[in-house]
Structure formats: structure tokens, C-alpha cells
Amino acid sequence: MPSSHLRVLPFRPSVRLEGADDGAAGGHGVGAGTDPVSVGRRVRHHRRVADLTLAELGARVGLSASALSLLENGRREARVSVLGDLARALDLDLGELLSGGPPTRRSALEVRWERAQRSEGFQTLGIPQVRVGAGLPDDALEALVGLYESVVGLQQQRAATPEFARIANAELRRRMREADNYFPEIEGRAAELVRAIGHEGGVVSKADVNRIAEHIGFELRLVPDVPASTRSVTDLEHHRVYLPERGSHDARAAALQALGHVVLEHEPPRDYAEFLAQRVEINYFAAAVLVPEASAAPFLQQARAVKDIALEDLRDEYAVSYETAAHRFCNLATRHLDLPVHFMRTSADGVIYKAYENDGVRFPMDGTGAIEGARVCRAWTARVVFERPNGEIYAQYTDTGRGTFWCTAVAEQTPQGRFSVSVGVPFDQVRWMRGRDTRERRTSRCPDPRCCTRPPAALAREWDGKVWPSARAHSHLLAVLPPGVFPGVDDTEVLRFVATQEAAGNAIRDGAAQPHA
């Protein structure tokens, strides 16, 4: 898949004002609404227009030249009384020092550069500060400001705020829908590897996955201490993939996802959108290896011929999770069965974590078109299934404003909580699906709030003004993902881990090379 790109939000520099200093600031300062840097530049401009030195103007208002220099550089916040004295000494109204933009283009650039150097973003770059003196040309100063603001814009893009994440998700889902969630290049790479190891059908075993790794020159190692911020770590120098000994639901999938970065020739992601696209691609690759198109497509076509398509059969045939079977069905259904479909992974409280559709179903979404984080209607199969025991397959018809859809779903307990996986098709395609004879049927009028989000009138009247819930804050909705090439990964932890593994391996090899007594 081609990399997707996000728009860069306009840079808004963060201003950290220096603390008040005795003698020049304090409780009688000009106030939080006035920027000391801008005020200082206006004082300097008018002092120079009046052809006064720092010492001369300072003498008129009772300030030393050094104190006045700090004020002009925005490093001290002057009291209103001092600014009043300065205004009178410069034959100005006080308002001319307190309000308005920088008096010249040069002053504006100096203000922006001073703000930039005081921001926390500048500190993280690890570069020395540049003092702005009269000898620094305007074009050089403008280049410094422009470069810094561009760098910070890229940092913001990589930081993946919730807004960026939602835009990236919406764009990626659009591309998946346009391709009917089928990507021939990834299918081809997966099929080539399956053929290369001589796999002839059925379950792709752990031994098969090891052979795939060996075929592309890599070694899989299970270790107990993979960094907590990672699912796996790949040592590209020594061609090793480190995987956790426990914790992975399917070690085969985790290994194939790690190898997918190599097989698909991924470069370090340039932004969060590309990071997200790569995650989707390696998940697709892993599923395409575990459920090969060459055998899975005929398997599904045969089921369609007898009108008995069932995800649980695909799951059992290839010994994969129900979710992997659902993903794989959505990859192949439109391409090989001419079936439009939709898919959701939903938490027990109805929040969508993953979704895909090309069958016209209307998912709940926000103003950006993103659906992740939105809440599913209580009448949908994805929510109703939680009323059933874990692992029980549930099917239902749902009448919506976009038509009637049939869905099948399973809810299972995971380390992160209880989640459902649901797959559906439009009513006119249900004749191919096992479970179409279900008598379960519900009506959803969402997004009309009278459907399920607004309490029944009688209940609302009874408890009006008598209840105050304390909401559980979903901090991930507000938080920015940690910055870096791979968001959320502790780089120091990962590099120390790899270095430790290599050192341990060297010690073992050195010991084996010693002659025995």
C-alpha cells in the first residue's frame, strides 16, 4: 500500500515566561495577558528611534543598563509603574508599549525566535541557542525561525495527537474500502513465501513460520524479557527477531508481523499515518500467510456454493483466532465471493476499536469521518452479543436507516477486557451465510438519540436532578502518543535489550570456543 500523508497543523509556539525577579517584577507586573518579549522589543525599538543608549534611558527611569537590557530581551517582566516611566521618558503613551504587534519585521522575527528558544520543544532538539545581535542578518534570522517552526510542525505530526490519529484512521479506511480490502502485492509476497517452504495446505505450523524466517535469512528467538513497550524486537544487524516467551495469543502471528516489515521492505515511518499503514500491512501479511489465498479462496467458494459460509469453519480449518478469520474473510469476500461486508471489533461498553465496511452500513463517526472511539448502537449485533456467554456465536438481523443487515458475532475475554468481533452483510446477500435462519431481529434508529443514547422519558423524569455520575476519563482520548519514529516505544529500553542479548550470545560463543581441560 502506498504511504498516506497527514496535513501539518499550523505551528503555535509555546511561550514559557521567565519567573519574576525582585526589583523589576512581581505582583504589580503588566499581567499574564501581556507578552514580556513583545513589550521588550517595543521598548528597544522606541529607545533606538530616540537615539538613546541603554545607559542613557536607564538613567532617566532609575534602572541600570543591565536591568533595562533584560527587560528589552523579555527576560524580566516590568512593573506597570516602570513602563509608565519608560513611556514618559520616550515621549509615548503607555498603550504604545503595552499593545500592538512588534514595531518592525525584524522585531517580529526576534520575538518569534526568542519565544522558540524558550519553548520546551527547542530544549528537546539538543542544539545550542543562538543569540540575536545586530550582526545577525535579517534573512539568517528568518531562516532560523522558519527552520525551527518547520521542525516543530513535523514533531507535532509525528506526535500523533488524537486529531491526527483520527484523520489517519479515516484516510486509511477510505483506501481499504476503495481496494475492497484486498491488496495483491501483499498477497503475492505471502504466497511466494508459503510456496518457498513447500507448504501444501492446511494449518501453517510454528515450524513453517520458522522455515519462512530462515528462508529470508532471519532467526526467531523466544526470550522472557522483551521490552514492555514492544510486541517484538528485530535486530537487523544480526538478523534476529526476539519474541516474548508468553503473552502472545498466537506466536505465529507475532513472528510473521515482525517479519512482515522485512518482507514488505518498510522504511522507518515518516509520520503517524505511515506508522499506522505499516501496522495494517504487517497484520494483513501475517493473516495472508496463516490463511493462504490459494487454499482459502476455494474453501470459501465451496462454502458459498452450498450456501454455508461460516467464519468458525475458516477459523478451525487454519487454527487461527476468530478475529484473524474475520479479517481474512473481509480480505477475500469481495474479491472472490462478490460479497460486500463490514467488520467491527468492539469493547463491552460499545466503543469501536477497529472497523471496515464496503457494504453501505453506516458506522457512528465524528466530524473528521473517524469511527474509532465512537459508540455502537445498543441494538447492533456487536453490542447484543455481550448478553451471550463468551465464545457463543450469535447472529441477528438489524433494521437501520441504511437498510437491513445480517451480522454474526462472538464475544471473548482478553487481557484488555471483553471484546466482540462481528462481521455482517446486506440483507440481499444473506442467503450465502450460515445462521441466516436466526429469528433474532432488532431495530436501530441511531444516530437519532431517541434510539438508545437518550434515557426513556419516564426513567429520566423519575431521576431528573437526582444523579451525578463521576465519569471514567479515557486519558488516551486526550493524550498525545509519545514522540519518536515508532510511537510509544522506549528507544533506550529497546537498544539496551538488543545490546544485552548480543553480549550474552557473544559470551556463550566465546565459552564454547575455549578448549576443554
Q: Is 502 exposed, middle or buried (0-12, 13-18, 19+ CB in 10 A)?
A: middle
Report the pLDDT value the prediction gives residue 52, as an integer from 0 to 100.
92
Amino acid at 124: T
Question: Whole-structure pTM over 0.75, yes or no?
Answer: no
- Identify the helix (H) or strand (E) that includes residue 60: helix 54-61
Report the pLDDT value the prediction gives residue 161, as an integer from 0 to 100.
62
| Grid coordinates given for 16 | 514559557
Domains of the chain as residue ranges with CATH: 36-121+139-158 (1.10.260.40), 160-290+483-508 (1.10.10.2910), 317-454 (3.30.450)
Amino acid at 471: A
Amino acid at 39: V
* Contact present, 434 and 308 (Cβ < 8 Å): yes
Report the pLDDT value the prediction gives residue 254, as an integer from 0 to 100.
93
Report the pLDDT value the prediction gives residue 515, as an integer from 0 to 100.
54
Local structure of 517: helix, strand or coil: coil
Residues in the chain: 517
* Contact present, 301 and 337 (Cβ < 8 Å): yes
Per-residue pLDDT of the chain (517 residues; tens, 9 = 90+): 333 332 222 323 332 223 323 333 333 444 434 678 888 888 888 898 899 999 999 999 999 998 898 888 877 888 888 989 999 999 988 888 887 666 778 878 887 887 777 776 676 666 778 877 777 888 888 888 888 777 766 665 555 566 777 777 888 888 999 999 999 999 999 999 999 999 988 899 999 999 999 999 999 999 888 888 888 899 999 999 999 987 656 889 999 999 999 999 998 887 778 888 999 999 999 999 999 999 999 999 999 999 999 999 999 999 999 999 999 999 999 999 999 999 999 999 899 999 999 999 999 887 667 787 788 999 999 999 999 998 999 999 999 999 999 999 999 988 888 999 999 999 999 999 999 999 999 999 988 888 888 888 888 888 888 888 776 655 444 444 555 556 667 778 888 888 888 888 777 766 655 554 3
Sheet with 417-426, side-by-side order of all strands: 352-357, 342-347, 417-426, 403-414, 394-400, 441-443
| Grid coordinates given for 391 | 465464545
